[in-house]
Amino acid sequence: MSEAFTNSYFYALPYEVLAYILSKINTVTLLNFCEVYECDYFLADRDVTRTIDLCKAYTLPDLVELSKKIVFENVTTLNVNCLYWVSASKLRRLVRRLINLETLYAMQTNLSLTSYDTEVFSKLKIKKMSVSVDRHEGINSHKIPTIETLYLSVIEVTAFINPWVLHMVFPALKNLWIDVEKPCDPKIILHCLHAGNKNKIFFQVKARTPSINFDHYGLSTYYNNRRASQPYVMCCEKFTAKQLPSESIFEIERSSEESWRILDELHCSKPYGPDDARKLFLNESNVDTMFFEELNFYHNGPVCNDRCRNAVSQILKSSCSSKLNKLCIMMCLFENKDAQEAVKTEDSYRATRERIGIMNKTANHPMEGVFKNFQGLQHLEVFACNQTSHHSAIQAYPLITIFEHLECLKVEIPVTLDGSFLIDVLKKCKHLKRLLITSLSQNEKLNMNLALAIPNATSLKDFRFQNHRIQLDKLLQRFSLIKTQKLERIVLICEEIDKMNLPSLQEFFDTHPQLIFVYFLIRGSTEAVVRTAQQMLNFYKKKHPSKFFLVKKIDVFNRIRFEIPNVHLCEMVKSDNRVASLNALDGFVNF
């Protein structure tokens, strides 16, 4: 025990309280704590090290430190999600030493269901497991008889990856969660139901919605949803007779307030997620008394009309939205009928013409009252909509500053929005960790205002910016002005840049040694510029195996095998909308 530990407030805590606190932090932080305060005896405590949590532990170069300090016999849960840089042999070696392992989370790692992997798994008593299977891999025939709960992420369903094989390999399987990336036949759902007696099944697949009644399987479907340009999601579960409701969720909604009936009449997708849908299905609450945590109002053009927008506004102003954590909306919701339109005037001689431009902010916007209903919002996504006029909708963007607790902002910028609101957003939203901006047109004012805003991003860890043209050197220089350097991942996508100076790149990487993922997609660049920049990036990424730095002029989506690790591809490169949907990295723990 060090002198620093005895002088800290930790020393005043009872041992049991401190041990409980340490059991809740990730393992890398635990190792650092014990090293700084010289209290390695906590690593031998069964209650502290029952769980090894290395999920997204990008600062961990390898697994050597674990083998030196942690008593493996105490470990019952191992979470190595997203440790893409650790080889399969090292991960198998670690798993093999955990003789009392019951739960294994290994999504987006080099572990899979190959013969080498299943041989290790079959010798343990694992009851719950999650793995990702590559498109070129199948499922080996080694039986793993103890697994009851399984998450499986596959690229596509093949003869070697199908529900019948799952039933042979996992004969005791009761709960199945499967994500399929490529489009597949909806019969996969029926096959999974036939393959054994399941208690719970979650699907997230690109397949047509099957018209199936699951009652004769003993399962109740409480969530069956597909939003625009998103995978089809279905959640089924076996409930007891006492749990089952007397009326369906759809009957509950039809008996509710007018705004929910309008969304039902317009055949809008359900805006809430699976967790809230389950509570509604079991009559634990209804849409009038429910406190929704996530709502998603992303839609296609045909359902974008005044009735839909008014219904959404009423829902967001109601008490059921007062405790929202995540929200996805579209720009059409910001439309203000009283906004001043852009006009043109001419003098009597018609020699000159004066233009009154589009106002980017206004006082007393109707969305102000809506936003103030859920000021504790932490995650906001705003997408553009071509069904509404820009001149009135863009005046609501400055109201985003109302959400002072915002941690993630994903926004699609229309051509008429100059981005000046970002300056105030980054000044007032001090907890903002993720900022993802997409502009599909040439917007030079956005470049200027974003550069002015960046130095205020003191908590920013993830940054994604897509524009037709990016002032690369200037943007990177502005990042160097941030007082607290926390940036870990940055993605820039554009058709062209003003210039790329190697000294600017070098200064950027020297200022941000904590960077883990860098991806520059510059479609209009030359091969020579890309090659020179990549050589510099290679120099900085060789210091740590988890670092992934890439400069390209061709989209990685055009390749058969993605070069980019899936966790960075999904969270940073793709602009997927996953609010109020299934997210296995967060949700499978409670599955």
pLDDT tens for 379-415 read 999 998 877 766 678 888 999 999 999 999 999 998 8
Pick from 61-75, 113-127, 245-259, 531-545: least confident? 245-259
CB atoms within 10 A of CB 285: 15
pLDDT at 194: 59
pLDDT at 393: 82
Whether residue 444 has pLDDT greater than 70? yes
Whether residue 356 has pLDDT greater than 50? no
Kindly state the average pLDDT of the residues 259-287: 84
pLDDT at 80: 95
Residue 60 lies inside a defined structural domain of this protein: no
Range of the domain at 527: 432-439+459-591
3-state secondary structure of 34: helix
pLDDT at 355: 42
Q: How far apart are CA 518 and CA 554, in angstroms?
A: 15
**Beta strands 200-205; 232-237: pairing state:** antiparallel
pLDDT at 555: 74
pLDDT at 560: 46
Q: How far apart are CA 243 and CA 229, in angstroms?
A: 34
Q: How far apart are CA 404 and CA 401, in angstroms?
A: 6
**DSSP conformational letter for 325:** S
CB atoms within 10 A of CB 432: 24
pLDDT at 221: 82
Contact between 296 and 328 (Cβ < 8 Å): yes
Helix 502-511 with 527-541: angle, nearest 10 deg:
20
Q: How far apart are CA 485 and CA 516, in angstroms?
A: 13
pLDDT at 254: 45
State the total domains in the chain: 1
Residue 545 lies inside a defined structural domain of this protein: yes
Kindly state the average pLDDT of the residues 534-561: 80
**DSSP conformational letter for 334:** G
Tokens of 363: 């006082």
Residue 527 lies inside a defined structural domain of this protein: yes
Q: Of 203, 200, 210, which is closest to residue 181 (Cα–Cα)?
A: 203
Q: How many helices (H) and strands (E) does the chain have?
A: 21, 22
Q: Which residue has the higher pLDDT, 189 or 221?
A: 221
**Beta strands 344-346; 294-296: pairing state:** unpaired
CB atoms within 10 A of CB 565: 17
State what percent of residues in the chain have pLDDT above 90.
Answer: 36
Whole-angstrom CA distances from 271 to 218, 264, 390, 585, 590 are: 27, 11, 24, 21, 22
Whether residue 446 has pLDDT greater than 80? yes
Whether residue 324 has pLDDT greater than 60? yes
pLDDT at 387: 74
Residue 373 lies inside a defined structural domain of this protein: no
pLDDT at 110: 92
pLDDT at 345: 44
pLDDT at 207: 65
Residue 147 lies inside a defined structural domain of this protein: no
| DSSP output for 140-194 | -S---TT--EEEEEESS--SSSSHHHHHHH-TT--EEEEEE-S---THHHHHHHH
Residue whose pair of structure tokens reads 């990856």 in the numeric block: 161
Q: How far apart are CA 90 and CA 71, in angstroms?
A: 17
Tally of residues, the chain:
591
On the 0-12 / 13-18 / 19+ scale of CB atoms within 10 A, 313 is middle
Q: Detail the DSSP E strand segments found in 21-173.
A: 51-53, 77-79, 103-106, 128-133, 149-154
Q: What is the pTM of this model?
A: 0.89
pLDDT at 281: 87
pLDDT, tens digit, for every residue of 175-199?
Answer: 989 888 777 666 666 666 555 578 8
Q: How far apart are CA 125 and CA 520, in angstroms?
A: 44
Q: Of 436, 439, 501, which is closest to residue 472 (Cα–Cα)?
A: 501
Q: What is the mean pLDDT of the chain?
A: 83
Residue 75 lies inside a defined structural domain of this protein: no
3-state secondary structure of 580: coil
pLDDT at 104: 97
Tokens of 56: 């997204």
pLDDT, tens digit, for every residue of 9-60?
Answer: 776 788 888 889 899 999 999 988 888 888 888 888 899 999 999 999 998 8
Kindly state the average pLDDT of the residues 223-252: 71
Kindly state the average pLDDT of the residues 103-121: 92
3-state secondary structure of 118: helix
**How far does CA 462 lie from the centroid of its chain?**
12
pLDDT at 100: 95
Whether residue 258 has pLDDT greater than 60? yes
Paired with 379 in beta bridges are 326, 408
489 contact partners, CB below 8 Å, separation of at least 6: 461, 462, 463, 515, 516, 517, 518, 568, 571, 572
Whether residue 353 has pLDDT greater than 50? no
**DSSP conformational letter for 6:** H
Kindly state the average pLDDT of the residues 239-248: 65
Contact between 453 and 482 (Cβ < 8 Å): no
| DSSP output for 393-416 | HGGGGGGGGG-TT--EEEEEPPTT
Residue 535 lies inside a defined structural domain of this protein: yes
Q: How far apart are CA 47 and CA 19, in angstroms?
A: 7
Contact between 1 and 37 (Cβ < 8 Å): yes
233 contact partners, CB below 8 Å, separation of at least 6: 202, 203, 204, 223, 224, 225, 226, 274, 581, 582
Whole-angstrom CA distances from 508 to 147, 163, 490, 500 are: 47, 49, 12, 12
Tokens of 167: 């039933």
Q: How far apart are CA 161 and CA 378, in angstroms?
A: 38
pLDDT, tens digit, for every residue of 467-491?
Answer: 999 999 999 999 989 988 899 999 9
pLDDT, tens digit, for every residue of 244-254?
Answer: 665 554 444 44
pLDDT at 366: 85
Q: How far apart are CA 483 and CA 489, in angstroms?
A: 17
**DSSP conformational letter for 20:** H
| DSSP output for 223-252 | EEE--TTS-EEEEEE---TTTS-SS-HHHH
Whether residue 511 has pLDDT greater than 80? yes
Residue 549 lies inside a defined structural domain of this protein: yes
Q: Which residue has the higher pLDDT, 119 or 212?
A: 119
Paired with 327 in beta bridges are 295, 380
Whether residue 344 has pLDDT greater than 80? no
